[in-house]
Structure 1
Amino acid sequence: MWEKLTGHLTVEELLWISFGLIGQIMFTGRFIVQWIASERARRSVVTRSFWLFSILGSSMLSIYAIYRRNPVFILGQVPGIFIYFRNLMIMRNEEKENEKVSEKATG
């Protein structure tokens, strides 16, 4: 069965498909990471790793979509990358602000 699905594909095509699948696994993995963190905290938690998986998965899927020249897929993935980076920046700024507050309280 695998031969019927892939027998007509070149090695290059199989590598691109593998790249796209890894990107999809990364993108899906972010939900698993978020779910585990929320279960452990017993509340909804969005971790830094969620945003990192989002960036990596979405970047890989975007590259794959560009290779495939699929405008629907490209428009679905590329804008999210900027949103994910922005969320990491917000987290970093929030952490810095919390550190300042802690230093003032203890210092």
Structure 2
Amino acid sequence: MIISIGHAVSDYIYDVFVLKFDFWLAFGIIAQLLFTARFLVQWLASEREGNSVMPLSFWYFSMAGGAMTLIYGIVRREPIIIMGQALAVVIYVRNLMLIFSNRKNRSAS
């Protein structure tokens, strides 16, 4: 029974990551890696500060990973990915706009 489950899992992984490998799968994997990197960047910055912080790079990784994941979802016709990323990308861009607007206002003061 355990051998059968292990064989089924390895067949599944082979099917998903080898047989179906193409440009868009590679694109999606890179998108997910960028999106995941935002958490690593945030965690490391927080550890360095000794406080929970959101570094600017968090928003860049969020925007890049989110936009690439959205493109991947559109190309693959994945409604769940499209729904999950469409608004999120707008929020990431807006956060960057607010950050730069606040920096500009502080430097003008």
Q: Same fold (TM over 0.5)?
A: yes
- 1:94 counterpart = 2:102: yes
1:45 to 33, 50, 53: 53
d(CA) in 1 for partners of 2:100, 2:79: 33
**Which runs of 5 or more structure 2 residues have no equivalent in the other structure?**
1-9
Alignment match, 2:91: 83
TM-score normalised by the chain length of structure 1: 0.82
**Which runs of 5 or more structure 1 residues have no equivalent in the other structure?**
102-107
Alignment match, 2:25: 17
Pairwise CA RMSD of aligned residues?
A: 1.7
Aligned length: 97
Aligned partner letter, 1:15: F
Cα deviation for residue 4 of structure 1 reads 4.1
* SS of residue in 2 equivalent to 1:44: coil
d(CA) in 1 for partners of 2:58, 2:83: 21
The CA deviation string for residues 74-107 of structure 1, in whole angstroms up to 9 with x for no partner, is 0101111110011011111111222133xxxxxx
The CA deviation string for residues 3-48 of structure 1, in whole angstroms up to 9 with x for no partner, is 94223x3xxx511101000000000100100111111111111111
d(CA) in 1 for partners of 2:45, 2:106: 21
Residues 98 and 15 of structure 1, relative CA distance in 2, 3 Å threshold: same
* SS of residue in 1 equivalent to 2:22: helix
